[in-house]
Amino acid sequence: MKTIAFPPGFLFGVATSAYQIEGAHDTDGKRPSIWDVFCRQPGAIADASTGNVACDHYHRYREDVQHMATLGLDAYRFSISWPRVLGDGGNVNPSGLDFYDRLVDALLEKQIRPFATLYHWDLPQSLQEIGGWASRETVERFAELAHVVGARLGDRVHDWITVNEPEVIAFVGHAYGQHAPGLRDPKLALRVAHHLLLAHRAASEALRTADRAARVGVALNLNPVHPATDASEDVAAARRLDGYFNRWYLDPLYGRGYPADMVEWYGELIDGEAVAEMRSYDGDLDFLGINYYSRRVVRASAGDLLSLQDVRVESADHTTTGWEVYPEGLFEILRRVADEYRPRALYVTENGASFDDRPVNGGVPDPARTRYLATHFEEAARSIDAGIPLRGYFVWSFMDNFEWHNGYTKRFGVVYVDFPTQRRIDKESARWFQRFLAAR
């Protein structure tokens, strides 16, 4: 790969989430999350696994932070386990807060800048039992979480992401049933999506009250959407999917309310009061996080919520999740967001790929991932050259982990984890990343 220049101060890091790596599912006062419960449902997880142990990061965090420092990382994006910090959604668990205290101190000792995500999908089960994200009370309780965590960590953590991927939380968890809590109700999913936007604002206010230096953003999974053909019905299908994935969250976060075409499409599924409430809403974002993995190519097809279906691009490379490798899409989505919404700053908060990685002679060759990262880094550099306010880039993921409904069948890490022994082994992509960072 040719040398790519990034400006001084540009951050390169890795990302994880609490349930996917921490383990220690019932240690030191941690209470059950919706994922602890969902994983026990027959057929919910591809390999019938759980996050009970995962990468045992709760006990091995110092080893992992040292590993990050050895790779030369600038920043680390992690998430706070709500049921570890507020065991029943309300009462503070000092031991849980102490863990994140220790983690942040360990990062700062190695000069690694912490980016904390307040919600990466592990809602306390106790809150789910009284309505979960379908209830306005959960919005209020989320603000309490932000206040507690911000008051404890805000003297050292100044970069905050309130909610990770509201589309996945709302629809994959509440309309398609593939993620916790495993429900299948599109009307409920739209209510959840609305409450997540309200929760972002409530948490933002709480964080800024706790820390005047707080920089607050949200992380959206955004996809360029392309029609399979020029036929008007396929173009309209692509427009609908763009409205579902991208504009439904971007528009209100930037003060435009819900997109009118999607309000019309959803019809009676969307609450009119929610639409009215969004007309006076603004996300007040210091930055926007974009999780980018691939594009979507679609054609019109009757039968589902959006009356469309995905089209596989057979000529392209694909990851083991079936996602097309399409690095150009990163520039496309960054350019589009910068032009249409004028964000103050952007971060790629997740980007990475799953491949069939296996140890060979003590190492883990993964040339496809190295190519994937190199080509996406090039698109990031292209974006900066084009004047887009991109400030940092987080690779998903630091290490192989519990990949939600896929369990341990998909490996996204640049570091290989042998789960029976918890041994960490650098993949070739990690060593490439280390050389890349050193060459700056």
Residues 1-18, mean pLDDT to the nearest whole number:
88
Statement: residue 1 has pLDDT above 80 = no
Which of 79-93, 178-192, 300-314, 401-415 is predicted least confidently? 79-93
Statement: residue 3 has pLDDT above 70 = no
Statement: residue 88 has pLDDT above 80 = no
pLDDT at 303: 86
- Active site amino acids: 165, 350
Name the residue among 238, 269, 282, 268 with its Cα closest to residue 170: 269
- How far from the centroid of its chain's Cα atoms is residue 288's Cα? 12
Tens of pLDDT, residue by residue over 203-249, are: 999 999 999 999 999 999 999 999 999 999 999 999 999 999 999 99
Q: For the chain, state the CA radius of gyration.
A: 21
pLDDT at 362: 92
Statement: residue 186 has pLDDT above 80 = yes
pLDDT at 87: 77
Which DSSP string corresponds to 134-201? GSHHHHHHHHHHHHHHHHHHTTT--EEEEEE-HHIIIIIHHTS-SSTT----HHHHHHHHHHHHHHHH
* Mean pLDDT for the chain overall: 97
pLDDT at 89: 64
Name the residue among 147, 117, 138 with its Cα closest to residue 198: 138
Element (H, E) at 296: strand 296-300
Confidence of residue 2 (pLDDT cuts 50, 70, 90): low
Residues 349-368, mean pLDDT to the nearest whole number:
97
Q: Domain limits of the chain?
A: 11-439
- Burial degree of 356 (CB within 10 A; 0-12, 13-18, 19+): exposed
Fold entry, domain 11-439: TIM Barrel (3.20.20)
CB 79 within 8 A of CB 16: yes
Report percent pLDDT > 90 for the chain: 97
Tens of pLDDT, residue by residue over 100-117, are: 999 999 999 999 999 999
- What is Dmax (Cα atoms) for the chain? 61
DSSP for residue 31: P
| CA–CA distance, 169 with 118 (Å, rounded to integer) | 14
| CA–CA distance, 335 with 180 (Å, rounded to integer) | 33
Tokens of 275: 């639409």
